[in-house]
Amino acid sequence: MSLPVPDRLAYAQDQLLAANDLDTNKLQNGLSDLWARGGDYGDLYFEMTTRDTWALERGKVARASFGISQGVGARAVTGENTAFAYSSDISPKAIDAVTAAARAMQSHGQDAAETGRGVEIKAGGQGLPAYSTLAAAGGLDTVEKVALLRKLDDLARAIDPRITEVNAQLAVEDSTILVGATDGTLAGDIRPQVRISLSVVAEGNARRASGSAGGGGRFTLGEFDTGRLEKLVHKATSVALTNLDAIPSPAGEMTVVLGNGFPGVLLHEAIGHGLEGDFHRKRESVFNGMMGERIAAPGVTVVDDATVPDARGSLNVDDEGVAGQRTVLIEDGRLVGLMQDKISARIMNDKLTGNGRRQSYADLPMTRMTNTFLERGPYDPEEIIASVKSGIYAVEFSGGTVDITSGQFNFSAEQAFLIEDGKVTAPIEGATLIGVGNEALKHMSMIGNDLELGIGFCGKNGQTVPVCVGQPTIRMDQVVVGGAGA
């Protein structure tokens, strides 16, 4: 059961202010000091995070760690210039130090007139909570955590004797955040996060092949029941065992069917980043100047949704204190919205979308995705595959690269098959999808009804945050495929 908004805020104030001899008056005074030399905006961001990780390799515990980090960051913004200072200490003295440092950087060390402006902060309205406030461990102790990893190991090895190596990891994280800002914002949140990842190696036919799978979100570790674990095991072992018999991928321009779930990473990278507000205000996106235009095939609707229940990228409030929300980016093929943080929204005169995120108190927030996915369509996945005379079916991706400015992408398939006369046939290896994001959107000819989200990490400007990516099964025509069969 999630705590109501006032209770989440009250808990954050208790853990981050009261526990450190601070209160809202001191917070308001700190913001007033931060704003004393003028500027457009300032905020103080408090965070306390605990992390517990375990790794099992070859049936034995290989690594375990536990850590606690806490601190406060102060930001002062004037136009597009930002001054930022942080401390791992949360105390009245630390507040004075970081606000003074940010204020000094803001004025470039020169004397400036004091504005005398005060700041009044208050709790703002927030929507229904997207996740529980329960501790992520869910009451599981050390023995039970190791037992969960051993169960994964046993399940994977029982699938097939050709599975020769199994590595399993789990991570449990609990964060409490509080943000106060010169625009009157006062918001807090409690954020659980669990993740389990599995990688396996299969050996046969004088070959070795690997496979991986992962799962998690903003729920408790106890929710990884046998069914959930078996799904991860089936996915990882299926990739490894299938690739033992893979033949070289064909190459050239062809029709590609992308599987549901994690293949949505292609949308995330090749399209999602280009719809982040900061790239637009800096004119670094291939989608600059296209608002309202058709940039994708009819039926293509892409959203970023921080309100998906229990999802890895969900946020009750973002790291600037703005309520998490659902933002439609592309609707029926037309560009209709962007993701925004406070700075980009102010400069571009656009609405806030709750996409201001940071890796920690020691990092500046920027526009970031949460759970970004292609909405479901009308077609059954089998119908999509049956429609393809000749092509490939890319079920899983292992990674790729993208250039935000040009939209050019390059993604490698971890598990893929030939499609011949409407049927999935031989497994293939070495398939690479090459293209331009805004052009690829126009060649989506069929969208499935089997939307699924996959978990991941998103990197940007040296910061990493948890996200979900997703899509249903889709058919894309005229895709350039690089492969060993060229």
| Whole-number percent of the chain with pLDDT over 90 | 78
Least confident of 14-23, 110-119, 220-229, 290-299: 110-119
Q: What is the pLDDT of residue 4?
A: 62
pLDDT at 119 over 80: no
**Residue 181, strand partner residues:** 43
DSSP string, 183-200: TSEEEEEEEEEEEEEEEE
| Region of residue 107 (phi > 0: left; psi between -120 and 50: alpha; otherwise: beta) | alpha
pLDDT greater at residue 199 or residue 34: 199
- State the Cα–Cα distance between residues 95 and 129, nearest whole angstrom: 30
Q: What is the pLDDT of residue 6?
A: 64
pLDDT at 399 over 90: no
> Given pLDDT bands bounded at 50, 70 and 90, which one contains residue 109?
very low
- State the Cα–Cα distance between residues 161 and 181, nearest whole angstrom: 58
Is this model's pTM higher than 0.85 or not? yes
Average pLDDT score, the chain? 92
Work out the angle between the directed axes of helices 24-34 and 92-106 (0-180°, nearest 10): 20
> Given pLDDT bands bounded at 50, 70 and 90, which one contains residue 38?
confident
Identity (one letter) of the amino acid at 2? S
pLDDT at 89 over 70: yes
Strands (E), 333-388: 334-335, 356-357, 366-367, 371-374
Q: What is the pLDDT of residue 108?
A: 62
Q: What is the pLDDT of residue 470?
A: 95
Q: How far is CA 250 from CA 444, 448, 461, in A?
A: 21, 25, 35
Give the Cβ contact number of residue 481 at 10 Å: 26
What average pLDDT does range 11-22 have in this prediction?
A: 95
pLDDT greater at residue 212 or residue 285: 212
> Given pLDDT bands bounded at 50, 70 and 90, which one contains residue 125?
low
Whole-angstrom distance between the N-terminal and C-terminal Cα of the chain? 55
Give tens-digit pLDDT for 94-104: 999 999 999 88
Q: What is the pLDDT of residue 486?
A: 47
What average pLDDT does range 155-165 have in this prediction?
A: 96
What average pLDDT does range 380-404 have in this prediction?
A: 91
Tokens of 371: 């759970």
Supply the DSSP symbol for 457: E
| Whole-number percent of the chain with pLDDT over 70 | 95
Q: What is the pLDDT of residue 113?
A: 42
Q: What is the pLDDT of residue 126?
A: 63
Q: What is the pLDDT of residue 118?
A: 65
What average pLDDT does range 41-56 have in this prediction?
A: 97
* Torsion angles phi and psi, residue 59, rounded to 5: 80, 0
Supply the DSSP symbol for 34: H
Q: Which candidate, 466, 378, 482, 363, places its Cα nearest to that of 429? A: 482
Q: How far is CA 11 from CA 8, 18, 181, 187, 321, in A?
A: 5, 10, 19, 11, 15
- State the Cα–Cα distance between residues 31 and 396, nearest whole angstrom: 48
Give tens-digit pLDDT for 57-67: 988 999 999 99
Q: Find all residues with CB under 8 Å of 281, minimum gap 6, and list them.
A: 80, 344, 347, 348
Q: Find all residues with CB under 8 Å of 54, minimum gap 6, and list them.
A: 61, 63, 64, 145, 146, 149, 169, 170, 171
pLDDT at 115 over 50: no
Q: What is the pLDDT of residue 39?
A: 82
Q: Quick one: CA dihedral 178, 182, 303, 438, positive or negative?
A: negative
Give tens-digit pLDDT for 139-157: 999 999 999 999 999 999 9
Q: Find all residues with CB under 8 Å of 455, minimum gap 6, and list them.
A: 195, 214, 215, 216, 217, 262, 312, 466, 467, 468
> Given pLDDT bands bounded at 50, 70 and 90, which one contains residue 114?
very low
Q: Which domains occur in the chain, in start order?
A: 5-243 (3.30.2290.10), 247-482 (no CATH)
Q: What is the pLDDT of residue 285?
A: 87
Strands (E), 230-306: 247-248, 252-258, 302-305
Q: What is the pLDDT of residue 1?
A: 45
